[in-house]
Amino acid sequence: MGQKTEISNLLANLPRLGAGLTYHEPFLADLLQKQPEVDFLEVHGDRYLDAPPARMDELAMLAEHFTVIPHFTGLSLGSAEGLDAVYLENVAHLIKQLKSPWWSEHIGYTRANGILLGQPAPLPFTKEGIEVMTRNIVTARRAIAAPLILENVFGPLVWPGSEMDPARFIGEVLGFGGVGLLLDVADLFTYAPGLGIDPIKLLDRLPLDRVVQVHFSSSHDSQADSSESRVQPVAEGVWQLLNAVVTRAPVRCLCLELNDNPPPLGDALKEVERARTVGRQYKRWN
Amino acid sequence: MELIRQQKLVVQLCTDHALLEEFLAAPAQVTTREGLTVGAESLAKLNPGQLRQFARLLRMRRLGEAGTALPLTRRALGHRFAELFTAYALQNPPPGKRLGQDAIAFVNYLLQSNPTKPLNPVWLMSLASYEAARVEVEWLGQRKLLVRKFPHALRRLLTAFEADGVPKGDFSGWTLAVWCSSSSGRQPRHWLW
Ligand SMILES: [Fe+2]
């Protein structure tokens, strides 16, 4: 009970940021002109570990103009082999430099036996999975003072041999770890059916009081086999889930997540504005 | 812990195309060879479609990163960039943990796999090697001094890339490229002759 109160207080004190998006280098020039339309930036934190000086200067400049939230994939909190101590040290150093209100990683893993994946793989929904996550979260929280929030990874792989349903698994990881939730509604929308659950039913079973941030995006799955940049609108089903989360959860910010081949900034900002309006409607911010 | 071995195998399956095909044909053979015991039966039930889909997503992510590291090479190759990268990635797992290492390995693969049938435009490999050298110095910072010679007029070519589209012409000539890092934390200096 004591631990639950402590985390609730911590999350309640986090700032209400509004709506923002993932930063990509081609946005830089336009971003500074459109600063009023962006409440915060999420950066791929892994890009700034061991990074060249020019990239670090750019990050410092961004942090002067925006609230910057670092989002990581490479720390791999779900790795059964444990954390990479040097990687953790670098992550801790970057977060300290950025003075971010919080930082994020995944309920999944990207590293095993020296190979690093660019995208997290889910964990089996088992007691062992919870133990691994909890152990690594404790190590990470010892090294990093800023609050940690973790993102759901429901697909595309589903491990056979689940011992519990995904909502309980996430609830236990967040509970034992004492951390918040970064709820990716596109991941929920795309992969909940593969787990045999309706996305909205799964949403209702998640610990929504822990949601700090929401990721929404066009799709996790339909990236074409091409390196051409393309614009895909966020699906209406994803917007419906986003609405449902904002009505039910004390969200601090909504983030348009853009991975490879980002669209032109102007197009992305239209989606950001729509999200900002949803948050305003439910009085999550002014 | 069995999960360590299971995670290792899943990562291998999703980054090593040949191993994935072998596993899908005879899962028990692969799990036994990889030393899985209690978790073997469960892993053998992994959905083939999902494994392939995840492997494809990982290749797409690598492709995106390589395109960021080699922007002009990607522009010059157009849709062939994705084709060539996919052919490379099917045979080669990601070579390291640092951003840019995959792009460098891809350029080396192009250099080794097309010696008799060079890629078009004629200056493509000079451009790709130049961008890979830049990544090596500016992203990875592993070298204090790097000197490279290229059999095309790169300065003119890079200027031509400032306009839209892909430059026309053979850009014949020679280029000497030098990068020099004075201290860590400072952008390396760079000259083209
Ligand atoms: Fe996400």
| pLDDT score, position B141 | 78
Output the CA A137–ligand 1 centroid distance in Å. 19
Q: What does the block give as tokens for B50? A: 């999902």
Q: Searching chain B, which residue's CA lies closest to the CA of residue A191?
A: B50
Report domain extents, chain B.
1-46, 47-192
Q: What does the block give as tokens for A88? A: 């953790």
Buried b (16+ CB within 10 A) or exposed e, A51-67: bbbebeebbeebbeebb
* Helix orientation angle between A127-143 and A85-98, rounded to the nearest 10 degrees: 50
SS3 state of residue A254: strand
Q: Summarize the confidence of residues B26-39 as an average pLDDT.
A: 85
* Helix orientation angle between B79-91 and B101-113, rounded to the nearest 10 degrees: 90
**Higher per-residue confidence, B86 vs A260:** B86
Using the Cα atoms of residue A42, residue A44, residue A48 and residue A49 in order, give the sign of their dihedral.
Answer: positive
- Alpha-helical runs (H) found in A17-165: 28-33, 53-65, 85-98, 127-143
Distance from CA of B156 to the nearest CA of A (A): 24
Give chain A's domain count. 1
| pLDDT over threshold 50, residue A224 | no
Q: What does the block give as tokens for A77? A: 């909190």
A188-214 tens-digit pLDDT: 999 999 999 999 999 999 999 999 999
Output the CA B137–ligand 1 centroid distance in Å. 31
d(CA A141, CA B47): 35
Cβ of A117 and B15 within 8 Å?
yes
Q: Summarize the confidence of residues A242-271 as an average pLDDT.
A: 94
Question: With contacts defined as CB-CB under 8 Å, which chain A residues touch B45?
Answer: 160-161
**φ and ψ at A145, to 5 degrees?**
-80, -35
In the chain, the amino acid numbered A247 is T
d(CA B98, CA A87): 11
Percent of chain B surpassing pLDDT 90: 51
Output the CA B78–ligand 1 centroid distance in Å. 28
Buried b (16+ CB within 10 A) or exposed e, B41-65: ebbeebeeebbbbbbbbbbbbbbbb
Residues A26, A280: contact at Cβ < 8 Å? Answer: no
**Higher per-residue confidence, B181 vs A98:** A98
Residues A126, B104: contact at Cβ < 8 Å? Answer: no
> Cis ω on the peptide bond leading into residue B167 (within 30° of 0)?
no
Residues A257, A215: contact at Cβ < 8 Å? Answer: yes
SS3 state of residue A259: coil
Which residue from A166, A146, A159 is spatially nearest to A45, judged by alpha carbons?
A: A146
Q: β-strand B172-180 against B189-192: which pairing, if any?
A: antiparallel
Per-residue CA distances from B95 to A114, A117, A275, B41, B182 (Å): 10, 11, 39, 30, 28
Confidence bin at A223 (pLDDT 50/70/90): very low
Residues A72, A103: contact at Cβ < 8 Å? Answer: yes
d(CA A70, CA A182): 12
ipTM attached to this prediction:
0.90
Residues A146, B21: contact at Cβ < 8 Å? Answer: no
d(CA A213, CA A102): 10
Q: Does A64 touch chain B (CB under 8 A)?
A: no
Task: Mean pLDDT check: name the lowest of A61-65, A185-189, B165-169.
Answer: B165-169
> Cis ω on the peptide bond leading into residue A156 (within 30° of 0)?
yes
Q: Searching chain B, which residue's CA lies closest to the CA of residue A80?
A: B4
| pLDDT over threshold 70, residue A162 | yes
| pLDDT score, position B185 | 65
B134-169 tens-digit pLDDT: 998 888 877 788 899 999 888 998 898 888 888 888
Output the CA A185–ligand 1 centroid distance in Å. 8
| pLDDT over threshold 80, residue A1 | no
Cβ of A227 and B63 within 8 Å?
yes
Q: What does the block give as tokens for A213? A: 């941030």
Would residue A286 count as lying in a domain? Answer: no
**φ and ψ at A35, to 5 degrees?**
-50, -40
Cβ of A115 and B93 within 8 Å?
yes
In the chain, the amino acid numbered A283 is K
Using the Cα atoms of residue A84, residue A86, residue A91 and residue A96 in order, give the sign of their dihedral.
Answer: positive
Number of Cβ within 10 Å of residue B183's Cβ equals: 8
HSE-up (13 A, CA, CB side) for residue B163: 7
Q: Does A178 touch chain B (CB under 8 A)?
A: no
| pLDDT score, position A226 | 39
B83-93 tens-digit pLDDT: 999 999 999 98
Most confident of the following: B50-54, B120-124, B152-156: B50-54
d(CA A229, CA B4): 37
| pLDDT over threshold 80, residue B184 | no
| pLDDT score, position B98 | 79
Output the CA B51–ligand 1 centroid distance in Å. 20
Distance from CA of A112 to the nearest CA of B (A): 5
Confidence bin at A228 (pLDDT 50/70/90): very low
| pLDDT over threshold 50, residue A124 | yes
d(CA B24, CA A56): 44
Query: Which domain, by its residues, includes A123?
Result: 2-281
| pLDDT score, position A10 | 78
d(CA B4, CA A182): 26
Number of Cβ within 10 Å of residue B28's Cβ equals: 13
Which residue from A150, A86, A156 is spatially nearest to A117, judged by alpha carbons?
A: A156
Question: With contacts defined as CB-CB under 8 Å, which chain B residues touch A221?
Answer: 53, 57
Number of Cβ within 10 Å of residue A270's Cβ equals: 13
Which residue from A165, A68, A77, A172 is spatially nearest to A120, judged by alpha carbons?
A: A77
